[in-house]
Structure 1
Amino acid sequence: MTLDNTIICAEKLAKVFKSGGKFLTALDHIDLTVRKGELTAVIGPDGAGKTTLMRLICGLMDPTEGNLTVLGLDSVKDSEEIQSRISYMPQKFGLYEDLTVSENMNLYADLHGVPKEKRPARFQKLLEMMGLERFTGRFAGKLSGGMKQKLGLACTLVRSPDLLLLDEPTVGVDPLSRRELWEILKEFVKEEGLSVFVSTAYMNEAEMCSHVYVLNKGRILSDGSPEDLRNIGKGHCFGVRPAHGVPTRILQAHLLDDQDHVVDAVPRGGEVHFITKGTEPVPYLAGQKLEAVPAEPQLEDGFMILLHQAEKEMLPPAEEQKKALDSGGRPSKEVNIIVKDLVKKFGDFTAVAHTSFEVHKGEIFGLLGPNGAGKTTTFKMLCGLLPETSGFLSVAGVDLRKARTRARANIGYVAQKFSLYSNMTVLENLEFYGGVYGLTPKRLKERIEEVSRQFYLSDRLEMKAGDLPGGYKQRLSMACALLHEPKILFLDEPTSGIDPLARRNFWRQITTLAAEGTTIIITTHFMEEAEYCDRFMIQDNGHLLAIGSPSEIRKKLGKPKADMDDIFIAIVEGAREKGEGA
């Protein structure tokens, strides 16, 4: 029975899909309650069942078993009435890119039956809160990623719904835009008593909610307040600083390799934060005594403990991975990439303005910036996918202006979205890309064996690429990009959409590649991943705002323990206040 303050109530809710003669359980008899007037979050890995849950709540599909009431109404019998009273923003919200901001909002107001006399006041409030009042005449297709997300939220809220459902509303959005979106949500909850149920991949967003559900493979592993989930890690969390000059990712890799004692390890605030199976820190590592100190647990720690208990899928390190760590993981003095006074213009618009930097062999170098900052344009020029307007650009010792094709032979590229052939098997994809790179049949066979072992694909070679889980798809993309043993590997938001365990495995492999001498260039919207970089640069409006190692940039800002989101926001906002990068 639904209580007065309950807006969503699920009892033994199950959803099973049939695909190719097989049954897939997306939700496995879950119980869930969402209270009115609160922000409630569901977190979980890719494929956990979050989107299925959202669609059931919306009445867009029927449950296989169990009961689900929304606003006190039956989700099956009363689906039309539920849909008339809720607003839903899916992951890929349908903005009309050839319509202006104002036209999009009016279109959604028409769809929701908002009276014309009520629109001016509502639109004005939304536009001011979203920071879009100056852009009402701009086409949606010309907005940055963060502005598109804010317009999507504005269109979702053209009426004041009884319940707002948001499915990962900030994926692919920079920290500044993410913060702005959440400030808007909290204001609506406070001012209008709005009830919000949101799925998110970011733990700091879940921290802002009243109640959090942890979902994995269709089952709820735990739920409670953010404090309840933090307390799961109480007494198990420690911090340790690496020896001088040793990258935090190397110390992290050593800790992750100690699977008998360590649950998880991640670079954070200039040190390595790790979780132990017991309540004592790991005393020795690779023959070194660790000066570990107890650390306060975070929500992510509780989340990772729950995932490890459920999954236990941390890949055992290969011997060659362990051996690579012994080199210390420091970049060499050899320069692989030279950028001097690089400029890229599109008509009158300057996307990249007079940027200069160098990248060394074996270095992990990050390109960071808000949506629309120019980092993707810089990335494409470095890959040889886009010609520069002016300046000098050398990759692996080759001038890109004079010998673009020869330079590409030294480059591996992993796109943000899975771009391999879904209907071909893992082996067929590897054979195809090996042929594209011109490997001889003998060498191709050797390399397929090597990358299959390196990326744990040996038992999946006959599986269709499209049927692989998200983490395995990313491993296959990496394996294909590395078949020809490129000197430089370009990674365009490679961890977007993959679960935290797969992300740890990914960075363990990247750490090995860099230690073996591969140069890595990476873009990411997960700012904590900047901790893995030897150096990173931050751009905004085409201008380079900062460049250096995480410790150098922290020192310059006078924030020795700040997390990367705070550093990013401080640099970008500080530059905008001074008028830099404008």
Structure 2
Amino acid sequence: MEIDSVKDYIVYGENLHKSFHAKQAVKDVSIAVKKGEIFGLIGADGAGKTTLIQMICGLYKPSSGLLFVDGHNVVREPDIIKSKIGYMSQDFTLYLDMTVEENIDFIATLKGMKGEGLSKRKERLLRFSRMDRFRNRRAGDLSGGMKKKLGLSCALAHKPEVLVLDEPTTAVDPISRGDLWRIIYEFIVQGITVIISTPYMDEAERCNKIALMQEGEVMACDTPANLKKIVNHNIFTCKSSNINEAARLINKEPDFKAMIYGDTVRIFMPSGASDFKPVNTLFENNGGGISVYDESKVNANMDDVYMELLGRDEKNGPKEIKWVPFNLPPAGEKAILLSNVTKMFEDFKAVDNVSFEVDTGSIFGMLGPNGAGKTTLIKIMCGLLAPTKGDANVAGHDVKTESRLVKNRIGYMSQLFSLYPDLTVGQNLDLYASIYELSKKEKKIRKEWAIELAGLKGMEKYLTQDLVGGWKQKLALGCSVMHQPLVLFLDEPTSGVDPVARQDFWDVIYRFSEEGITVLVTTHFMDEADRCNRLSLMNAGKLIALGTPESLKKSIPIEFYELSSSSTLESFDKLLSTDKLGQVSLFGEKIHISSKMEKEDLENHILYNNNFLIESITRIEPILEDVFIYNVIKSESEQEL
């Protein structure tokens, strides 16, 4: 190793290995991060990202290899390393009984900050995180998104040179995600280097360089633009009135691969396929029952790179699951009926006069910012909380007077992982089978099915705590439907799960719907929301929008535009403070804005202004993320009047 190589990079690792007993978590990894870069880490659960991050932060010593931060050896100079790094873990630690301000003060003091320097730094962090008006609120009373922003502020409190973030935007709504990236950018322009792991491929697009990891190894490391050149397929997209059946049929062909993103099928075709004819021929040969439209050839994105390099392998389980017969009891036309439901916690109104209905066998999505009241409403529908006012009927029973009958006819997979970590896979399934009072024959059949569903055949004796996230989630899903419920509640089931596991999970959700199970799901992934039959959007306990994904997109009475920029984050930051614009939000390496201005006036205002570094402006139909942000901002403006 050349000493000059270390000096050229603020983080430099060479031939890094890390083993825990017989398991190799990191294998022969070399990385080089330049000062001021955003360096991304992408990979499935268990790929080694967190272990690598914790070695960089000095929390783990490498089993072998060399690792330097700003020229200092991580193993030999741990105290210097800790002063140079700000670290926000997945399970970031806040002191829940302390206020927002007290948390920042305490962490900064531990890092040696004090006096006027600490005071100025704290005020700046509170201002940029938009947390200044919550400075006296207990951390335990904050929503999930606000806790993340406070955790990020604490990591930045001592002016680190390297900011290390382990999935900081997981389980965070689109508005809070935008806020977090705005904070990150503010400190990037000051020269801070950012190392970030993320399950969001649109966030990966914003990184200067990305390392894709699998089973402890770096499979590729380059800029997003260069990584996209690795994709050795022609990629086409289309829409269909039966999108799930279309994707299933395409995936039966060995040379094709279809993935569903929102309302669109994305198809990997052999590099020699120059048009859509092979897919049309496939549908025609299948009887012509599936029609597609809006076919187009598209460029590769980071989702495609992920699928190309880290896509499905044998460990993700078989494609075709032997489905057990579902013998659901008769159900009415409506699986859920809510009328003016309100829930008070002392003086706090968590759910405010919410009414909607859900058709039997449909997939109903609940969207909203962190703290909007979604989880509280789910607990009411599950009979776990009684509404203060209003009526709720689920699976044909009143949740207030017949809560026991409701619980027998529903399945619930909570936001917090609901399995027993110190029990094996098989023991967890046995426990749920006994809770649901399944017969010996039913237990055997459904246990085998749940194991196959999760791709865990041969792993029945593994402790659940040793499973990676995607497997855990599918096992929890299998446990929640062993008794074949009429209604299934899923509270952010794919939070933090990699793109392949998310696709598998939603394939299963659709199979449940086709079997007649009604699925109510909350999610912060807008492409998942696009796959629901109907959606509700909540904010501050109120229902602020309701309809199909398509009707919600058409309901926005303002024009939306997509901007390309040579410096996305810098342009985003400048546009946020520009007048005559509505909302400004990040979408991958693009920026979405809304405006009442005519396109020509908008171009004169932005495109021909050198301050913004904008290369093109294109009018677009709003996507669900635009719908989400528009409605939430609108509702908050109305509340302030």
TM-score (structure 1 length as normaliser): 0.91
2:275 is equivalent to residue 275 of structure 1 = no
Give the whole-Å Cα distance in 2 for the aligned partners of 1:486 and 1:240.
34
State the match for 1:251 in structure 2: 246
What letter matches 2:386 in structure 1?
A: P
Matches within 5 A, 1:89-128: 89-128=88-127
2:261 is equivalent to residue 261 of structure 1 = no
Which segment drifts farther, 469-478 or 91-100?
A: 469-478
State the match for 2:638 in structure 1: 578
What letter matches 2:552 in structure 1?
A: I
2:435 is equivalent to residue 415 of structure 1 = no
Matches within 5 A, 1:53-452: 53-190=52-189, 192-233=190-231, 236-243=234-241, 246=242, 248-255=243-250, 257-258=251-252, 260-268=254-262, 270-280=263-273, 281=276, 282-283=279-280, 284-285=282-283, 286-288=286-288, 290-291=292-293, 292-308=295-311, 313=316, 315-318=318-321, 320=323, 334-452=333-451
State the match for 1:16 in structure 2: 19
RMSD across aligned positions (CA): 2.3
Structure 1, residues 182-216: CA drift from partner, whole Å, max 9, x if none?
011112111x1111111111111111111111111
State the match for 1:478 in structure 2: 477
Shift of 1:352: 0.9
Shift of 1:442: 3.2
- Partner of 1:241, secondary structure, is strand
Give the whole-Å Cα distance in 1 for the aligned partners of 2:469 and 2:14.
29
TM-score (structure 2 length as normaliser): 0.83
Structure 1 residues 455 and 111 mapped into 2: Cα distance closer, same or farther (>3 Å)? closer
Q: Is the 8 A contact 1:263 1:277 kept in 2?
A: no
State the match for 2:492 in structure 1: 493
Shift of 1:235: 5.3
Q: Is the 8 A contact 1:314 1:505 kept in 2?
A: no
Structure 1 residues 259 and 456 mapped into 2: Cα distance closer, same or farther (>3 Å)? farther
Structure 1 residues 61 and 459 mapped into 2: Cα distance closer, same or farther (>3 Å)? closer
What letter matches 2:45 in structure 1?
A: D
What letter matches 2:247 in structure 1?
A: Q
What letter matches 1:49 in structure 2?
A: G
Shift of 1:475: 2.2
Give the whole-Å Cα distance in 2 for the aligned partners of 1:551 and 1:117.
53
- Partner of 1:532, secondary structure, is coil
Structure 1 gap segments, 5+ residues each: 325-331
Q: Is the 8 A contact 1:230 1:300 kept in 2?
A: no
- Partner of 2:240, secondary structure, is coil
- Partner of 1:126, secondary structure, is helix
Q: Is the 8 A contact 1:263 1:305 kept in 2?
A: no
2:635 is equivalent to residue 569 of structure 1 = no
Structure 1 residues 311 and 574 mapped into 2: Cα distance closer, same or farther (>3 Å)? farther
Shift of 1:521: 0.8
What letter matches 2:18 in structure 1?
A: K
What letter matches 2:433 in structure 1?
A: G
The number of aligned residues is 563
State the match for 1:329 in structure 2: none
What letter matches 2:11 in structure 1?
A: I
Structure 1 residues 86 and 463 mapped into 2: Cα distance closer, same or farther (>3 Å)? closer
Q: Is the 8 A contact 1:491 1:521 kept in 2?
A: yes
- Partner of 1:98, secondary structure, is coil
Structure 1 residues 42 and 439 mapped into 2: Cα distance closer, same or farther (>3 Å)? same
Shift of 1:449: 3.7
Structure 1 residues 259 and 68 mapped into 2: Cα distance closer, same or farther (>3 Å)? farther
Structure 1, residues 130-152: CA drift from partner, whole Å, max 9, x if none?
00111111111111111111111
What letter matches 2:475 in structure 1?
A: L
Shift of 1:500: 2.0
Give the whole-Å Cα distance in 1 for the aligned partners of 2:172 and 2:439.
42
Q: Is the 8 A contact 2:453 2:475 kept in 1?
A: no
Structure 1, residues 245-281: CA drift from partner, whole Å, max 9, x if none?
x3x34433444x325133341223x322232344524
Shift of 1:579: 3.2
Structure 2 gap segments, 5+ residues each: 561-619
Structure 1 residues 4 and 158 mapped into 2: Cα distance closer, same or farther (>3 Å)? same
- Partner of 2:67, secondary structure, is strand
Q: Is the 8 A contact 1:227 1:299 kept in 2?
A: no
